[in-house]
Amino acid sequence: MKGVILSAGRSTRTYPITLTRPKPLLSVAGKTIIERNIETIAGIVDSLVIIIGYKAEMITEALGSEFKNLPIEYVEQRVQDGSGGAVLLVEDMVGDEFVVINGDDLYSPEDIKAVACECPSVLLHSVDNISRFGSIEIEDGVITEIVESPGVFKSGLVNAGAYHFDGRVFEILRRLPPGGRGEYELPQALIIGEYRGMVKAVIGEGYWRPVGYPWDYLLANLDFSQRESGSVIHPETDIHPEAVITSSVVMRGARIGRRAIISYSVIGEDVVIGDEVKISDVNKQGGTVNSFVKGEMVDTGLYNVGAFIGDGAVIEEEAMIEAGVKIWPRVVIPAGVVVSEDVIV
């Protein structure tokens, strides 16, 4: 059976850390997301099709034609027409049954194995807040309804983005109407045509981390980190012994100055943090930290979120970066300033 990994999207919600790389190539505690996903699926499928798009050459160069003894084929999604459009591209490449997973979520092998045992099926997980995902209604173990739930803050089952399909899915996808953004959304295939009342709900019991926002990437690293400090620091960095780094990600080539204080933050490649720079991780008004994403204020749902600093940025000495701020690659923040809003170029 083949596995399909969806890895074509631009991942704009995770800017600035995905401005210089596709999200599947973000490193989580020493391994990229897509490497972890291939390891997860390796014992379940015998070959892979990876759907690429944004910065496609970076993925093909990183993985080549084989990884973890799994042959890899690539398909480029030239038109960003959604996850349904992506799956249609592999119709002539997969057999009667195949497994699909999101290339930017992290999964447990046991959950994907459970999906592989039922066809057609979808992996669901229980979350405390369905507003970010929309919810899934089930009856007698099968999917009956998909409910968009913006502003509805309650617990429930949500689609975790792992599927087991057979060949019927392609005709169903061809009949799908495009959504509001002109995209064909794969979840809608679960409730129409021959799949109506047929798609089994697999309730996940293992690890699942959707990496939809920059702070999700931070949390994924902290999930996998075994360091006592709770930080994930690339070995090729230059960090002053008097710097204080807590629960953060520091990527390759970063330089951190004397008495810099960094917590709950992501520091990109080749970033320079000057002496006595301070990055706050708390909302000065109290409560959870908010952050702008694509022009809208988003509640992170977290009480500790620092800053997200893109590759090659320079934060000069004694600057202060407030919680939830994002700084684009190669931006220079002058000495002594207080940055309370995203710096975008």
Domain edges within the chain: 2-212, 215-339
Rounded distance, CA 106 to CA 23, Å?
A: 12
Class for the domain spanning 2-212: alpha beta
pLDDT at residue 153, rounded to an integer: 67
Cα-flanking dihedrals φ and ψ of residue 218, to 5°? -60, -45
Distance CA 86, CA 77 (A): 6
The residues, ordered by sequence, that sit 6+ positions from 343 with a Cβ below 8 Å of its Cβ are: 325, 326, 327, 328, 331, 333
- The amino acid sitting at 265 is S
CATH number of 215-339: 2.160.10.10
Q: How far apart are CA 255 and CA 105, in angstroms?
A: 29
Contacts of 57 (CB under 8 A, 6+ apart): none
Bridge-based pairing of strands 156-166 and 97-102 is: antiparallel
Reduced to 3 states (helix: H, G, I; strand: E, B; else coil), residue 315 is strand
One-letter amino acid at 260 equals A
pTM: 0.95
| Residue 226, pLDDT score | 64
What is the per-residue pLDDT for 333?
99
pLDDT at 228: 46
Q: Is the dihedral of CA 213, 215, 217, 220 positive or negative?
A: negative
pLDDT confidence of residue 179: 75
Q: Which residues of the chain have pLDDT under 50?
A: 227-228
Six-digit token pair at 241?
A: 């012994």
CB of 215 closer than 8 Å to CB of 304 = no
Q: Which amino acid is at 193?
A: G
SS3 275: coil
Return d(Cα 66, Cα 53) in angstroms, integer.
19
Neighbours of 160 (CB within 10 A): 26
Identify the residue whose tokens are 């807590």: 246
Distances (CA, A) of 40 to 12, 37, 44, 98, 254: 25, 5, 8, 15, 30
pLDDT at 70: 96
